[in-house]
Structure 1
Amino acid sequence: MPARSKSNRLTPLFILLALCLQTLAGCSRQPAPVAPPATTAAAEAPKRIVSLAPSLTEMLYAIGAGDQLVGRTSACDWPAEAEKVPVVGSFGRPSLEVLASMNPDLVLDVDLADEQAAKKMAEMHLRREHIRCQDPEELPAALRKLGALTGHARQADSLASVIEQGLAKYRTEAAAKTRKPLIYLEIWNDPLWTGGNKSFVSRLIGYAGGRNIGDAVEKEYFEVSPEWVIRENPEIIACMYMANETPAADNLKKRPGWQGISAVQRNRVYDKFDNRLYLRPGPRILEGIAGMKKLIESNEQ
Protein backbone atom coordinates (compact mmCIF):
# COMPACT_ATOMS: atom_id res chain seq x y z
CA MET A 1 0.00 0.00 0.00
CA PRO A 2 1.17 3.60 -0.52
CA ALA A 3 3.03 4.93 2.51
CA ARG A 4 1.71 7.78 4.59
CA SER A 5 3.68 10.95 5.09
CA LYS A 6 5.14 10.97 8.62
CA SER A 7 6.92 14.29 8.74
CA ASN A 8 6.73 17.86 7.59
CA ARG A 9 9.90 17.64 5.55
CA LEU A 10 7.95 17.23 2.33
CA THR A 11 5.50 20.07 2.91
CA PRO A 12 7.41 22.74 0.93
CA LEU A 13 8.04 20.27 -1.88
CA PHE A 14 4.44 19.12 -1.99
CA ILE A 15 3.22 22.69 -2.23
CA LEU A 16 5.64 23.32 -5.08
CA LEU A 17 4.56 20.16 -6.85
CA ALA A 18 0.89 20.82 -6.38
CA LEU A 19 1.27 24.26 -7.84
CA CYS A 20 3.68 23.41 -10.66
CA LEU A 21 1.54 20.50 -11.73
CA GLN A 22 -1.69 22.43 -11.37
CA THR A 23 -3.21 19.50 -9.60
CA LEU A 24 -6.22 21.21 -8.16
CA ALA A 25 -9.59 21.25 -9.90
CA GLY A 26 -9.48 21.35 -13.69
CA CYS A 27 -11.16 23.62 -16.18
CA SER A 28 -14.87 23.58 -16.72
CA ARG A 29 -16.03 20.82 -19.00
CA GLN A 30 -18.55 23.11 -20.68
CA PRO A 31 -18.31 23.30 -24.51
CA ALA A 32 -15.59 25.65 -25.70
CA PRO A 33 -16.94 29.16 -26.32
CA VAL A 34 -17.16 30.39 -29.88
CA ALA A 35 -14.32 32.81 -30.55
CA PRO A 36 -15.60 36.40 -30.77
CA PRO A 37 -14.73 38.57 -33.79
CA ALA A 38 -11.08 39.59 -33.68
CA THR A 39 -11.88 43.31 -33.95
CA THR A 40 -14.17 43.26 -30.91
CA ALA A 41 -11.70 41.34 -28.75
CA ALA A 42 -8.77 43.53 -29.83
CA ALA A 43 -10.65 46.73 -28.92
CA GLU A 44 -11.10 45.50 -25.38
CA ALA A 45 -7.84 43.60 -25.04
CA PRO A 46 -5.84 44.29 -21.87
CA LYS A 47 -2.40 45.78 -22.42
CA ARG A 48 -0.84 44.95 -19.05
CA ILE A 49 -1.27 41.29 -18.10
CA VAL A 50 0.24 39.52 -15.11
CA SER A 51 0.37 35.72 -15.22
CA LEU A 52 0.56 33.84 -11.93
CA ALA A 53 1.07 30.39 -13.47
CA PRO A 54 3.75 28.98 -15.80
CA SER A 55 1.17 27.09 -17.86
CA LEU A 56 -0.75 30.29 -18.54
CA THR A 57 2.44 32.14 -19.40
CA GLU A 58 3.26 29.49 -22.00
CA MET A 59 -0.25 29.77 -23.42
CA LEU A 60 -0.04 33.55 -23.68
CA TYR A 61 3.11 33.37 -25.75
CA ALA A 62 1.73 30.51 -27.83
CA ILE A 63 -1.28 32.58 -28.94
CA GLY A 64 0.74 35.72 -29.61
CA ALA A 65 -0.09 37.63 -26.41
CA GLY A 66 3.42 37.60 -24.95
CA ASP A 67 3.94 41.32 -25.63
CA GLN A 68 1.04 42.10 -23.29
CA LEU A 69 2.72 40.36 -20.35
CA VAL A 70 4.20 42.75 -17.77
CA GLY A 71 4.51 40.40 -14.80
CA ARG A 72 5.08 36.71 -14.07
CA THR A 73 6.04 34.33 -11.26
CA SER A 74 9.53 32.95 -10.70
CA ALA A 75 8.24 29.58 -11.98
CA CYS A 76 7.34 31.03 -15.39
CA ASP A 77 10.50 29.97 -17.21
CA TRP A 78 9.35 29.20 -20.77
CA PRO A 79 9.65 30.43 -23.43
CA ALA A 80 13.00 32.16 -22.95
CA GLU A 81 11.46 35.59 -23.58
CA ALA A 82 9.33 35.16 -20.48
CA GLU A 83 12.37 35.29 -18.23
CA LYS A 84 12.89 38.93 -19.23
CA VAL A 85 9.52 39.86 -17.71
CA PRO A 86 9.56 41.22 -14.12
CA VAL A 87 8.72 38.74 -11.34
CA VAL A 88 5.83 39.37 -8.93
CA GLY A 89 6.57 36.45 -6.60
CA SER A 90 6.52 32.67 -6.51
CA PHE A 91 3.89 30.44 -8.09
CA GLY A 92 0.71 30.77 -6.06
CA ARG A 93 2.23 33.35 -3.71
CA PRO A 94 2.52 36.70 -5.48
CA SER A 95 3.56 39.85 -3.67
CA LEU A 96 0.44 41.96 -3.76
CA GLU A 97 2.48 45.12 -3.34
CA VAL A 98 4.62 44.31 -6.38
CA LEU A 99 1.54 43.20 -8.28
CA ALA A 100 -0.25 46.48 -7.61
CA SER A 101 2.82 48.50 -8.59
CA MET A 102 2.67 46.97 -12.08
CA ASN A 103 -0.78 48.48 -12.57
CA PRO A 104 -2.15 45.43 -14.43
CA ASP A 105 -5.47 45.52 -16.24
CA LEU A 106 -5.73 41.71 -16.08
CA VAL A 107 -4.35 39.13 -13.63
CA LEU A 108 -4.47 35.46 -14.64
CA ASP A 109 -4.12 32.53 -12.25
CA VAL A 110 -4.87 28.83 -11.86
CA ASP A 111 -4.67 28.70 -8.08
CA LEU A 112 -3.44 30.73 -5.14
CA ALA A 113 -1.70 29.20 -2.13
CA ASP A 114 -2.82 32.16 -0.01
CA GLU A 115 -6.59 31.83 0.36
CA GLN A 116 -6.85 35.52 1.19
CA ALA A 117 -4.99 36.63 -1.93
CA ALA A 118 -8.06 36.54 -4.17
CA LYS A 119 -10.05 38.57 -1.66
CA LYS A 120 -7.28 41.12 -1.35
CA MET A 121 -7.04 41.44 -5.13
CA ALA A 122 -10.75 42.18 -5.27
CA GLU A 123 -10.33 44.84 -2.59
CA MET A 124 -7.53 46.35 -4.68
CA HIS A 125 -9.94 46.44 -7.66
CA LEU A 126 -7.67 44.22 -9.74
CA ARG A 127 -9.38 42.41 -12.59
CA ARG A 128 -8.68 38.71 -12.09
CA GLU A 129 -9.52 35.71 -14.27
CA HIS A 130 -9.26 32.29 -12.68
CA ILE A 131 -8.35 29.59 -15.24
CA ARG A 132 -7.92 26.18 -13.66
CA CYS A 133 -6.75 23.39 -15.93
CA GLN A 134 -5.68 19.84 -15.18
CA ASP A 135 -7.14 17.49 -17.77
CA PRO A 136 -5.51 17.50 -21.24
CA GLU A 137 -8.92 17.69 -22.89
CA GLU A 138 -9.59 20.95 -21.08
CA LEU A 139 -6.60 22.76 -22.58
CA PRO A 140 -8.38 23.81 -25.80
CA ALA A 141 -11.11 25.55 -23.79
CA ALA A 142 -8.48 27.30 -21.67
CA LEU A 143 -6.68 28.51 -24.78
CA ARG A 144 -9.88 29.81 -26.33
CA LYS A 145 -10.76 31.66 -23.14
CA LEU A 146 -7.34 33.29 -23.06
CA GLY A 147 -7.70 34.18 -26.72
CA ALA A 148 -11.02 35.89 -26.08
CA LEU A 149 -9.61 37.75 -23.07
CA THR A 150 -6.46 38.99 -24.78
CA GLY A 151 -7.67 39.79 -28.28
CA HIS A 152 -6.03 36.77 -29.89
CA ALA A 153 -9.11 34.64 -30.48
CA ARG A 154 -8.12 33.46 -33.94
CA GLN A 155 -4.64 32.34 -32.95
CA ALA A 156 -5.98 30.65 -29.85
CA ASP A 157 -8.73 28.85 -31.74
CA SER A 158 -6.24 27.63 -34.34
CA LEU A 159 -3.91 26.20 -31.68
CA ALA A 160 -6.83 24.73 -29.74
CA SER A 161 -8.02 22.93 -32.85
CA VAL A 162 -4.56 21.46 -33.46
CA ILE A 163 -4.47 20.17 -29.89
CA GLU A 164 -7.98 18.72 -30.16
CA GLN A 165 -7.06 16.87 -33.33
CA GLY A 166 -3.79 15.64 -31.85
CA LEU A 167 -5.45 14.36 -28.70
CA ALA A 168 -8.07 12.55 -30.76
CA LYS A 169 -5.33 10.88 -32.80
CA TYR A 170 -3.37 9.74 -29.74
CA ARG A 171 -6.55 8.60 -28.00
CA THR A 172 -7.47 6.39 -30.96
CA GLU A 173 -3.97 4.92 -31.19
CA ALA A 174 -3.85 4.18 -27.46
CA ALA A 175 -7.27 2.50 -27.54
CA ALA A 176 -6.11 0.21 -30.33
CA LYS A 177 -3.16 -1.13 -28.33
CA THR A 178 -3.70 -4.65 -27.02
CA ARG A 179 -0.97 -4.32 -24.40
CA LYS A 180 0.05 -1.24 -22.45
CA PRO A 181 3.31 -1.34 -20.44
CA LEU A 182 3.30 -0.49 -16.74
CA ILE A 183 5.08 2.78 -15.94
CA TYR A 184 6.30 4.12 -12.60
CA LEU A 185 6.74 7.87 -12.54
CA GLU A 186 8.97 9.02 -9.68
CA ILE A 187 8.35 12.67 -8.85
CA TRP A 188 10.62 12.68 -5.80
CA ASN A 189 13.01 10.23 -4.20
CA ASP A 190 13.17 11.08 -0.48
CA PRO A 191 10.54 10.04 0.34
CA LEU A 192 9.18 8.45 -2.83
CA TRP A 193 6.32 10.29 -4.51
CA THR A 194 4.39 9.45 -7.66
CA GLY A 195 1.27 10.49 -9.56
CA GLY A 196 -2.19 9.00 -9.05
CA ASN A 197 -5.04 8.69 -11.52
CA LYS A 198 -6.09 12.31 -11.01
CA SER A 199 -2.73 13.71 -12.09
CA PHE A 200 -2.11 15.43 -15.40
CA VAL A 201 0.93 13.28 -16.14
CA SER A 202 -1.06 10.08 -15.64
CA ARG A 203 -3.46 11.20 -18.37
CA LEU A 204 -0.49 11.98 -20.57
CA ILE A 205 0.88 8.45 -20.05
CA GLY A 206 -2.52 7.08 -21.04
CA TYR A 207 -2.57 9.07 -24.27
CA ALA A 208 0.92 7.75 -25.03
CA GLY A 209 -0.24 4.15 -24.73
CA GLY A 210 1.06 3.26 -21.29
CA ARG A 211 -0.43 2.46 -17.87
CA ASN A 212 0.58 4.38 -14.78
CA ILE A 213 0.97 2.07 -11.75
CA GLY A 214 -0.35 4.92 -9.61
CA ASP A 215 -3.72 4.86 -11.36
CA ALA A 216 -5.04 2.50 -8.69
CA VAL A 217 -4.96 5.42 -6.24
CA GLU A 218 -7.67 8.11 -6.33
CA LYS A 219 -5.24 10.97 -5.73
CA GLU A 220 -3.17 13.39 -7.72
CA TYR A 221 0.23 12.91 -6.09
CA PHE A 222 1.05 10.71 -3.14
CA GLU A 223 3.85 9.07 -1.17
CA VAL A 224 4.69 5.41 -1.74
CA SER A 225 6.96 2.84 -0.13
CA PRO A 226 9.82 1.05 -1.91
CA GLU A 227 8.03 -2.22 -1.22
CA TRP A 228 4.92 -1.01 -3.05
CA VAL A 229 6.92 -0.16 -6.17
CA ILE A 230 8.63 -3.56 -6.05
CA ARG A 231 5.27 -5.33 -5.83
CA GLU A 232 3.85 -3.32 -8.74
CA ASN A 233 6.88 -4.37 -10.84
CA PRO A 234 6.81 -1.58 -13.46
CA GLU A 235 8.27 -2.24 -16.90
CA ILE A 236 9.42 1.35 -17.38
CA ILE A 237 10.57 3.85 -14.74
CA ALA A 238 10.75 7.59 -15.42
CA CYS A 239 12.56 9.83 -12.91
CA MET A 240 11.09 13.31 -13.22
CA TYR A 241 12.34 15.09 -10.13
CA MET A 242 11.56 18.77 -9.71
CA ALA A 243 15.20 19.28 -8.74
CA ASN A 244 17.84 17.73 -10.95
CA GLU A 245 19.79 14.82 -9.53
CA THR A 246 22.64 13.20 -11.41
CA PRO A 247 22.65 10.34 -12.05
CA ALA A 248 19.07 9.68 -10.90
CA ALA A 249 18.61 6.50 -12.93
CA ASP A 250 21.86 4.94 -11.73
CA ASN A 251 21.07 5.71 -8.10
CA LEU A 252 17.60 4.19 -8.43
CA LYS A 253 18.99 0.94 -9.81
CA LYS A 254 21.16 0.52 -6.70
CA ARG A 255 18.27 0.59 -4.23
CA PRO A 256 18.02 -2.56 -2.09
CA GLY A 257 15.56 -5.05 -3.56
CA TRP A 258 14.93 -3.10 -6.76
CA GLN A 259 17.16 -5.31 -8.89
CA GLY A 260 14.21 -7.68 -9.33
CA ILE A 261 11.98 -5.02 -10.88
CA SER A 262 11.41 -5.58 -14.59
CA ALA A 263 12.43 -2.02 -15.55
CA VAL A 264 15.72 -2.35 -13.66
CA GLN A 265 16.48 -5.81 -15.01
CA ARG A 266 15.91 -4.65 -18.60
CA ASN A 267 17.70 -1.31 -18.09
CA ARG A 268 14.54 0.69 -18.74
CA VAL A 269 15.04 3.38 -16.13
CA TYR A 270 15.19 6.92 -17.51
CA ASP A 271 16.01 10.44 -16.35
CA LYS A 272 17.07 13.71 -18.02
CA PHE A 273 13.52 14.73 -18.94
CA ASP A 274 12.36 18.27 -19.64
CA ASN A 275 9.79 18.08 -16.88
CA ARG A 276 7.97 21.12 -18.21
CA LEU A 277 6.71 19.04 -21.13
CA TYR A 278 5.36 16.25 -18.95
CA LEU A 279 4.32 17.86 -15.67
CA ARG A 280 2.97 21.21 -16.84
CA PRO A 281 -0.40 21.46 -18.61
CA GLY A 282 0.16 23.78 -21.52
CA PRO A 283 0.29 24.37 -25.27
CA ARG A 284 3.13 21.88 -25.76
CA ILE A 285 1.11 18.90 -24.56
CA LEU A 286 1.31 17.10 -27.91
CA GLU A 287 5.10 17.32 -27.74
CA GLY A 288 4.99 15.77 -24.27
CA ILE A 289 2.73 12.93 -25.40
CA ALA A 290 4.95 12.31 -28.43
CA GLY A 291 8.02 12.08 -26.20
CA MET A 292 6.36 9.63 -23.82
CA LYS A 293 5.00 7.59 -26.72
CA LYS A 294 8.48 7.36 -28.26
CA LEU A 295 9.87 6.17 -24.93
CA ILE A 296 7.19 3.50 -24.61
CA GLU A 297 7.51 2.27 -28.17
CA SER A 298 11.30 2.08 -27.98
CA ASN A 299 10.86 -0.47 -25.19
CA GLU A 300 8.43 -2.58 -27.20
CA GLN A 301 10.93 -3.42 -29.90
Structure 2
Amino acid sequence: MKKISSYLLTLVFVVVAVVATHAQAPRRIISLAPSLTKNLYLLGAGDLLVGCTSYCTLQSDTQAEVVASAIQVNYEKAVLLQPDLVITTSLTKPKTIDTFRKLGVEVLVYDSPRSFEEICSQFIDLGEQVGRKQQAETLIADAKARMKQTLERIPADAPSQKIILQIGANPLFSVVPNTFMNDFIRFSKTENIAADLTVGSITRESVLIRNPDIIVVVLMGMIGEEEKSQWMSYPSLSAVQKNQIFMMDADKACSPTPLSFVESLEDLITKIYQR
Protein backbone atom coordinates (compact mmCIF):
# COMPACT_ATOMS: atom_id res chain seq x y z
CA MET A 1 0.00 0.00 0.00
CA LYS A 2 2.88 2.31 0.84
CA LYS A 3 4.51 1.47 -2.50
CA ILE A 4 1.31 2.41 -4.38
CA SER A 5 1.00 5.68 -2.46
CA SER A 6 4.65 6.47 -3.15
CA TYR A 7 4.16 5.74 -6.86
CA LEU A 8 1.06 7.92 -7.06
CA LEU A 9 2.84 10.74 -5.30
CA THR A 10 5.76 10.52 -7.71
CA LEU A 11 3.35 10.53 -10.67
CA VAL A 12 1.63 13.64 -9.34
CA PHE A 13 4.97 15.42 -9.05
CA VAL A 14 5.85 14.48 -12.65
CA VAL A 15 2.51 15.72 -14.00
CA VAL A 16 2.80 18.98 -12.06
CA ALA A 17 6.33 19.50 -13.35
CA VAL A 18 5.23 18.94 -16.96
CA VAL A 19 2.28 21.32 -16.61
CA ALA A 20 4.50 23.94 -15.00
CA THR A 21 7.02 23.63 -17.81
CA HIS A 22 4.33 24.20 -20.47
CA ALA A 23 2.87 27.06 -18.47
CA GLN A 24 6.15 28.97 -18.55
CA ALA A 25 6.52 31.86 -20.96
CA PRO A 26 8.55 30.91 -24.07
CA ARG A 27 12.27 31.63 -24.01
CA ARG A 28 13.19 30.97 -27.65
CA ILE A 29 10.91 32.41 -30.33
CA ILE A 30 10.96 32.29 -34.12
CA SER A 31 8.93 35.03 -35.83
CA LEU A 32 7.70 34.51 -39.39
CA ALA A 33 6.08 37.94 -39.73
CA PRO A 34 7.76 41.39 -39.71
CA SER A 35 4.86 42.95 -37.78
CA LEU A 36 5.15 40.34 -35.02
CA THR A 37 8.90 40.86 -34.83
CA LYS A 38 8.25 44.59 -34.32
CA ASN A 39 5.71 43.78 -31.62
CA LEU A 40 8.23 41.63 -29.74
CA TYR A 41 10.65 44.54 -29.65
CA LEU A 42 7.93 46.93 -28.53
CA LEU A 43 7.10 44.54 -25.67
CA GLY A 44 10.74 44.46 -24.63
CA ALA A 45 10.96 40.80 -25.61
CA GLY A 46 13.47 41.08 -28.43
CA ASP A 47 15.94 39.02 -26.41
CA LEU A 48 13.62 36.02 -26.85
CA LEU A 49 13.94 36.14 -30.64
CA VAL A 50 16.22 33.44 -32.06
CA GLY A 51 14.93 33.22 -35.64
CA CYS A 52 13.10 35.36 -38.18
CA THR A 53 12.47 35.97 -41.89
CA SER A 54 14.68 37.93 -44.26
CA TYR A 55 12.00 40.63 -44.26
CA CYS A 56 12.11 41.22 -40.51
CA THR A 57 14.03 44.27 -39.29
CA LEU A 58 16.32 43.34 -36.42
CA GLN A 59 17.80 45.64 -33.83
CA SER A 60 21.58 45.72 -33.65
CA ASP A 61 21.87 43.76 -30.40
CA THR A 62 19.68 40.86 -31.60
CA GLN A 63 21.41 37.56 -32.31
CA ALA A 64 18.48 36.04 -34.24
CA GLU A 65 19.21 34.07 -37.39
CA VAL A 66 17.30 34.26 -40.67
CA VAL A 67 15.47 30.95 -41.15
CA ALA A 68 12.91 31.90 -43.80
CA SER A 69 12.20 34.03 -46.84
CA ALA A 70 8.72 35.27 -47.71
CA ILE A 71 7.75 31.86 -49.09
CA GLN A 72 10.20 29.22 -47.85
CA VAL A 73 11.41 28.03 -44.44
CA ASN A 74 14.66 26.26 -43.70
CA TYR A 75 13.24 23.78 -41.18
CA GLU A 76 16.57 22.16 -40.37
CA LYS A 77 18.11 25.51 -39.45
CA ALA A 78 14.98 26.51 -37.53
CA VAL A 79 14.86 23.33 -35.44
CA LEU A 80 18.56 23.60 -34.57
CA LEU A 81 17.69 26.90 -32.85
CA GLN A 82 15.52 24.86 -30.42
CA PRO A 83 12.50 27.21 -30.48
CA ASP A 84 9.70 26.67 -27.98
CA LEU A 85 7.35 28.97 -29.93
CA VAL A 86 6.83 30.06 -33.54
CA ILE A 87 4.69 33.15 -34.08
CA THR A 88 3.21 33.91 -37.48
CA THR A 89 0.12 35.15 -39.34
CA SER A 90 -2.59 33.43 -41.35
CA LEU A 91 -0.67 34.47 -44.49
CA THR A 92 1.81 31.69 -43.74
CA LYS A 93 1.15 28.48 -45.65
CA PRO A 94 -0.79 25.88 -43.64
CA LYS A 95 1.86 23.32 -44.61
CA THR A 96 4.53 25.40 -42.87
CA ILE A 97 2.43 25.64 -39.70
CA ASP A 98 1.68 21.90 -39.75
CA THR A 99 5.35 21.02 -40.27
CA PHE A 100 6.45 22.98 -37.20
CA ARG A 101 3.71 21.38 -35.11
CA LYS A 102 4.73 17.90 -36.28
CA LEU A 103 8.27 18.75 -35.21
CA GLY A 104 6.90 19.39 -31.73
CA VAL A 105 7.08 23.20 -31.82
CA GLU A 106 4.13 25.26 -30.59
CA VAL A 107 2.83 27.65 -33.27
CA LEU A 108 0.81 30.78 -32.54
CA VAL A 109 -1.10 32.05 -35.59
CA TYR A 110 -2.71 35.49 -35.80
CA ASP A 111 -5.26 36.43 -38.46
CA SER A 112 -4.57 39.53 -40.53
CA PRO A 113 -6.11 42.30 -38.39
CA ARG A 114 -9.13 44.07 -39.90
CA SER A 115 -9.03 47.13 -37.66
CA PHE A 116 -6.91 49.11 -35.22
CA GLU A 117 -8.84 47.42 -32.40
CA GLU A 118 -7.78 43.99 -33.67
CA ILE A 119 -4.17 45.17 -33.86
CA CYS A 120 -4.48 46.14 -30.19
CA SER A 121 -6.20 42.93 -29.06
CA GLN A 122 -3.63 40.76 -30.84
CA PHE A 123 -0.84 42.79 -29.26
CA ILE A 124 -2.24 42.19 -25.79
CA ASP A 125 -2.60 38.48 -26.53
CA LEU A 126 1.01 38.28 -27.73
CA GLY A 127 2.08 40.14 -24.60
CA GLU A 128 0.29 37.57 -22.47
CA GLN A 129 1.83 34.69 -24.40
CA VAL A 130 5.38 35.95 -23.83
CA GLY A 131 4.86 37.04 -20.22
CA ARG A 132 4.54 40.76 -20.97
CA LYS A 133 0.79 41.33 -20.62
CA GLN A 134 1.08 44.30 -18.26
CA GLN A 135 3.55 46.03 -20.59
CA ALA A 136 1.20 45.37 -23.51
CA GLU A 137 -1.80 46.86 -21.73
CA THR A 138 0.18 49.95 -20.72
CA LEU A 139 1.41 50.48 -24.29
CA ILE A 140 -2.11 50.12 -25.67
CA ALA A 141 -3.46 52.66 -23.18
CA ASP A 142 -0.71 55.10 -24.20
CA ALA A 143 -1.38 54.53 -27.92
CA LYS A 144 -5.11 55.12 -27.53
CA ALA A 145 -4.55 58.28 -25.48
CA ARG A 146 -2.20 59.56 -28.17
CA MET A 147 -4.76 58.72 -30.85
CA LYS A 148 -7.46 60.63 -28.99
CA GLN A 149 -5.25 63.74 -28.98
CA THR A 150 -4.54 63.25 -32.69
CA LEU A 151 -8.21 63.00 -33.63
CA GLU A 152 -8.97 66.20 -31.72
CA ARG A 153 -6.79 68.05 -34.24
CA ILE A 154 -9.33 67.43 -37.02
CA PRO A 155 -11.45 70.59 -37.50
CA ALA A 156 -15.12 70.05 -36.68
CA ASP A 157 -16.10 71.98 -39.82
CA ALA A 158 -13.66 70.22 -42.15
CA PRO A 159 -15.19 69.60 -45.59
CA SER A 160 -15.66 66.00 -46.72
CA GLN A 161 -12.84 64.86 -49.02
CA LYS A 162 -12.43 61.75 -51.15
CA ILE A 163 -9.23 59.77 -50.71
CA ILE A 164 -7.34 56.79 -52.06
CA LEU A 165 -4.55 54.95 -50.24
CA GLN A 166 -2.49 53.26 -52.95
CA ILE A 167 -0.67 50.15 -51.73
CA GLY A 168 0.30 48.56 -55.04
CA ALA A 169 1.54 49.55 -58.49
CA ASN A 170 1.47 47.63 -61.74
CA PRO A 171 -1.19 46.44 -61.04
CA LEU A 172 -2.56 49.31 -59.00
CA PHE A 173 -4.05 48.37 -55.62
CA SER A 174 -6.00 50.48 -53.16
CA VAL A 175 -7.02 50.04 -49.54
CA VAL A 176 -10.55 48.62 -49.22
CA PRO A 177 -13.04 48.27 -46.32
CA ASN A 178 -12.68 45.56 -43.66
CA THR A 179 -8.91 46.03 -43.49
CA PHE A 180 -6.92 47.72 -40.75
CA MET A 181 -5.56 50.23 -43.26
CA ASN A 182 -9.09 51.42 -43.97
CA ASP A 183 -9.03 52.71 -40.38
CA PHE A 184 -6.52 55.34 -41.53
CA ILE A 185 -9.29 56.62 -43.78
CA ARG A 186 -12.06 56.22 -41.25
CA PHE A 187 -10.18 57.94 -38.43
CA SER A 188 -9.06 60.80 -40.69
CA LYS A 189 -12.71 61.61 -41.52
CA THR A 190 -12.22 61.15 -45.25
CA GLU A 191 -14.17 59.10 -47.81
CA ASN A 192 -12.62 56.04 -49.43
CA ILE A 193 -13.17 56.09 -53.21
CA ALA A 194 -12.75 52.29 -53.13
CA ALA A 195 -15.46 51.80 -50.50
CA ASP A 196 -17.54 49.75 -52.94
CA LEU A 197 -14.73 47.30 -53.70
CA THR A 198 -14.02 44.01 -51.95
CA VAL A 199 -10.68 43.46 -53.69
CA GLY A 200 -8.14 46.26 -53.94
CA SER A 201 -7.37 45.92 -57.65
CA ILE A 202 -8.38 49.13 -59.45
CA THR A 203 -7.44 50.71 -62.77
CA ARG A 204 -5.86 54.13 -63.09
CA GLU A 205 -8.75 55.15 -65.32
CA SER A 206 -11.21 54.27 -62.56
CA VAL A 207 -9.27 56.39 -60.09
CA LEU A 208 -9.33 59.32 -62.49
CA ILE A 209 -13.10 58.95 -62.95
CA ARG A 210 -13.66 58.80 -59.19
CA ASN A 211 -11.45 61.90 -58.92
CA PRO A 212 -10.08 61.79 -55.34
CA ASP A 213 -9.22 64.99 -53.49
CA ILE A 214 -6.34 63.22 -51.76
CA ILE A 215 -3.97 60.53 -53.03
CA VAL A 216 -1.69 58.78 -50.53
CA VAL A 217 1.02 56.61 -52.04
CA VAL A 218 2.03 53.87 -49.58
CA LEU A 219 4.91 52.37 -51.54
CA MET A 220 8.62 52.23 -50.82
CA GLY A 221 11.55 53.75 -52.66
CA MET A 222 11.63 54.66 -56.32
CA ILE A 223 8.30 52.94 -57.03
CA GLY A 224 6.55 55.32 -54.66
CA GLU A 225 8.24 58.37 -56.15
CA GLU A 226 7.39 57.22 -59.67
CA GLU A 227 3.72 56.74 -58.75
CA LYS A 228 3.55 60.20 -57.20
CA SER A 229 5.03 61.71 -60.38
CA GLN A 230 2.55 59.73 -62.48
CA TRP A 231 -0.41 61.16 -60.58
CA MET A 232 1.04 64.66 -60.84
CA SER A 233 0.87 64.36 -64.62
CA TYR A 234 -2.96 64.64 -64.55
CA PRO A 235 -3.65 68.38 -64.03
CA SER A 236 -7.44 67.92 -64.04
CA LEU A 237 -7.24 65.59 -61.02
CA SER A 238 -8.66 67.21 -57.88
CA ALA A 239 -5.74 65.93 -55.76
CA VAL A 240 -3.30 67.65 -58.14
CA GLN A 241 -5.22 70.91 -58.11
CA LYS A 242 -5.31 70.88 -54.30
CA ASN A 243 -1.66 69.81 -54.05
CA GLN A 244 -2.70 66.80 -51.97
CA ILE A 245 -0.61 63.91 -53.24
CA PHE A 246 1.27 62.54 -50.25
CA MET A 247 3.69 59.73 -49.41
CA MET A 248 3.25 57.49 -46.37
CA ASP A 249 5.92 55.30 -44.79
CA ALA A 250 5.02 51.85 -46.14
CA ASP A 251 6.95 49.92 -43.50
CA LYS A 252 5.09 51.66 -40.66
CA ALA A 253 1.68 51.70 -42.31
CA CYS A 254 1.53 48.22 -43.84
CA SER A 255 2.92 46.16 -40.94
CA PRO A 256 2.25 48.35 -37.92
CA THR A 257 2.50 47.95 -34.20
CA PRO A 258 -0.19 49.73 -32.19
CA LEU A 259 2.26 52.61 -31.72
CA SER A 260 3.40 52.91 -35.34
CA PHE A 261 -0.25 52.78 -36.49
CA VAL A 262 -0.92 55.90 -34.41
CA GLU A 263 2.29 57.52 -35.70
CA SER A 264 1.18 56.91 -39.30
CA LEU A 265 -2.26 58.32 -38.55
CA GLU A 266 -0.68 61.41 -36.97
CA ASP A 267 1.38 61.93 -40.12
CA LEU A 268 -1.66 61.53 -42.37
CA ILE A 269 -3.84 63.93 -40.37
CA THR A 270 -1.03 66.51 -40.28
CA LYS A 271 -0.73 66.35 -44.07
CA ILE A 272 -4.46 66.53 -44.74
CA TYR A 273 -5.38 69.26 -42.25
CA GLN A 274 -2.02 71.05 -41.97
CA ARG A 275 -2.19 70.93 -38.18
Equivalent position of 2:205 in the other structure: 227
Give the partner amino acid of 1:96.
Answer: Y
The aligned counterpart of 2:4 is none
| 1:189-248 per-position Cα deviation (integer Å, ceiling 9, x unaligned) | 3222111112322212211232221122133xx221122111111111112225532443
Q: Is the 8 A contact 1:201 1:279 kept in 2?
A: yes
Residues 242-264 of structure 1: CA deviation (Å, up to 9, x unaligned): 5532443223322xxx3211012
SS at match of 1:223: coil
Seen in structure 2, the aligned counterparts of structure 1 residues 149 and 139 have a Cα distance that, compared at 3 Å, is same
CA distance in 1, matches of 2:71, 2:183: 23
Contact 2:220–2:249, Cα closer than 8 Å, also in 1: no
The CA deviation at 1:59 is 0.8
Q: Matches of 2:149 and 2:196 in 1, distance apart? A: 26
The aligned counterpart of 2:14 is none
* Paired residues of 1:93 and 1:114 also in contact (CA < 8 A): no
Q: Which residue of 1 aligns with 2:217?
A: 239
Corresponding residue for 2:181? 201
1:138 lines up with 2:110 in the alignment: no
* AA at the equivalent of 1:110: T
How far apart are residue 141 of structure 1 and its match?
1.6
2:23 is aligned with 1:47: no
User: Residue 266 of structure 1 corresponds to which residue in structure 2?
Assistant: 242
Task: Sort the Cα spacing of 1:215 and 1:98 in 2 relative to 1 into closer, same or farther, 3 A.
Answer: farther
Change over 3 Å in CA distance of 1:164–1:266 after alignment to 2: closer
Which residue does 2:16 correspond to in 1?
A: none
Cα distance between partner residues in 2 of 1:115 and 1:130 = 10
> Given the alignment, which residue of 153, 172, 193 partners 1:213?
193
Query: Structure 1 residue 172: deviation in Å?
Result: 7.1
* AA at the equivalent of 2:188: A
Query: Distance in 2 between the 1:179 and 1:105 partners?
Result: 53
Check if 1:76 corresponds to 2:52: no
Alignment-derived partner of residue 11 in structure 1: none
Moved more, 196-205 or 231-240: 196-205
How many percent identity over aligned positions?
27
Distance 1:145 1:81, change over 3 A: farther
Q: Distance in 2 between matches of 1:136 and 1:218?
A: 19
Q: Residues 227 and 251 of structure 1: is their aligned pair in 2 closer, same or farther, counting only changes over 3 Å?
A: closer
SS in 2 for 1:50: strand
Q: Where does residue 296 of structure 1 map in the other structure?
A: 272
Question: Structure 1's 199 and 141: CA in aligned 2 closer, same or farther, altered over 3 A?
Answer: closer
Structure number with larger C-alpha Rg: 2
Q: Which has the higher contact order (CA 8 A, sep 6+)?
A: 1
Q: Is the 8 A contact 2:154 2:269 kept in 1?
A: no
TM-score between the two structures when normalised by the length of structure 1:
0.75
Cα RMSD (Å) = 2.7
Displacement of 1:159 in angstroms is: 0.6
Q: For 2:104, which of 125, 129, 136 is the aligned residue? A: 125
Q: How many residues matched?
A: 252
- Which 5+ residue runs of structure 1 have no aligned equivalent? 1-39
Q: Deviations over 1:87-123 (max 9, x none)?
A: 1112464332222121101110112442211211111
How far the C-alpha of 1:142 sits from its partner, in A, is 1.5
Mapped to 2, the partners of 1:183 and 1:83 lie a distance apart of 39
Amino acid at match of 1:280: S
Task: Provide the C-alpha distance between the structure 2 equivalents of 1:83 and 1:92, rounded to a whole number of angstroms.
Answer: 23
Consecutive unaligned residues in structure 2, runs of 5 or more: 1-19
C-alpha change, 1:195 and 1:150, in structure 2 (3 Å) is: same
